[in-house]
Amino acid sequence: MECSWKTVLLLVCASLGVQYTAIHTLRDSLSGPCQGAYHSLCDDSWLPVESYRKHILLFATTRSGSSFTGQLLNQHPAIFYVFEPLYHVQQAFTNSSSRLRRTLDRRALLGAYRDLLLNLYTCDFHFMENYIRPEPQDHVTGSFFRRSSSHALCSPPVCPEGGDGGATGSPDEIWCPKKCGSLNLTLASMSCLSRGHVAIKTVRIPEVGDLRTLTEDPRLDLKIIHLVRDPRAILASRMMAFSDQFRAWKIWNATGRQPRYVDLSQITSTCKDMTASAETGLQRPAWLRGRYLLVRYEDLAFNPKDKAIEIYRFVGLELEEKVRSWIARNTNSNVSSPSEWNHRYSTTRDSRVTAESWRLRLSFDIVRTLQNLCNDTLTLLGYKQVHSVAELRNLSHSLVEPRTFSPAT
């Protein structure tokens, strides 16, 4: 079959046209006039909406500080932020009758991830209904994963009860589940369209190469923030957060003896994926040009304001006052309420202390093993190895080498 470039072009244009119409229809059904500084959507200049929207991906790994980093995006009034929507896809694709929850088909799973991201970036939240369990009724669900982590899903129009920032200024997680009831996905789509930009955080995509079809998609202007962290810190944090799964590691940590059944494969593949993605990104292939920013969590934790500025410059948006004040409130040693410390995924805490605490929490034996497993990763990202317990525990001796990973061009 012959398929000329004209046909291809026609198809692309047709699909853009359909999308433009669909967006208009949904937008027209939004109640109320266009208000506020962010609704440049509403002026009638003929620009397809998608050419101006930013599509931001916070690309991270479990316990790499992505909840904290995500807050920098979540606080922005013109960003519609979604916390790990791919959770639902993974649930649907794993064999729940098997104790280890095996993934049935990796390639199909990655394809489904990609499709969901594309649909969410264009604000089609109904697409999620294919994966959410139990199946939503009349586009309404009570099972949206970590809905309270998305400020937009806890404020009007999605949640009429949710004032701006919550009436008390307390984190959405505390009051949103009680006040907001079930989630109407149609309203979520409308709210998404009414904000200028979409940011999604995920820890489920293995490598940046798996995102290539999205960076090349003419409908998107994708910006990837690749968040990395010292793998020794990632491991310590996983041991604290998922103690059941890490029982063997905890025994190792406590006894100084490595159990034979300890699973080294998970952290090894974390390191492998992190290295592969950073290498790809730093080589700046054409399909990633201007779309990739490497951020070390430690730099963000030690210097949140400067890093936030860098991130916002990269995505091409203003660093709003709300983001600045969130940083001010959450990155000094003055934690407002002790209860917030106990939340497993809490982001409200001293970022500097958190970033370093692994050095007091891991036995030297574990650290040494990890340094061998993740040698390349540590070297590439500028994390120093330690050679004694004294060096490990001496917090005035920094293990983070100053580095600038050249900004995206």
Interface contacts to ligand NAG, rule CB under 6 A: 95, 97-98, 104, 138, 140, 184, 186-187, 236, 239-240, 250, 253-254, 332-334, 361, 372, 375-376, 379, 390, 394, 396-397
Closest residue to bound ligand NAG by CB? 98
Using alpha carbons, select from 196, 230, 189 the residue that is nearest to residue 370: 230
Shorter beta-carbon distance to ligand NAG: residue 334 or 409:
334
Shorter beta-carbon distance to ligand NAG: residue 76 or 238:
238
Shorter beta-carbon distance to ligand NAG: residue 248 or 309:
248
The SS3 call for residue 224 is strand
> Which residues partner with 296 through β-bridges?
228
Tell me the CA distances in angstroms from 189 to 13, 112, 128, 351, one per residue in order. Answer: 23, 19, 11, 33
Shorter beta-carbon distance to ligand NAG: residue 43 or 138:
138
Least distance between ligand NAG and beta carbon 273 (Å)? 18
Main-chain phi, psi angles of 199, to 5 degrees: -125, 135
Contact residues for 250 (Cβ-Cβ < 8 A; gap 6+): 239, 243
Least distance between ligand NAG and beta carbon 156 (Å)? 12
Least distance between ligand NAG and beta carbon 139 (Å)? 6
Query: Cis omega before residue 407 (within 30°)?
Result: no
- Tell me the residue type at 328: A
Shorter beta-carbon distance to ligand NAG: residue 90 or 186:
186
Least distance between ligand NAG and beta carbon 352 (Å)? 12
Shorter beta-carbon distance to ligand NAG: residue 199 or 380:
380
Least distance between ligand NAG and beta carbon 404 (Å)? 20
Gap between the Cα atoms of 379 and 399, Å rounded: 11
Q: Which region, left, alpha or beta, applies to residue 219 given φ > 0 means left and ψ of -120 to 50 means alpha?
A: alpha
Gap between the Cα atoms of 259 and 257, Å rounded: 6
Least distance between ligand NAG and beta carbon 234 (Å)? 12
**Is the sign of the CA dihedral 369, 205, 203, 199 positive or negative?**
positive
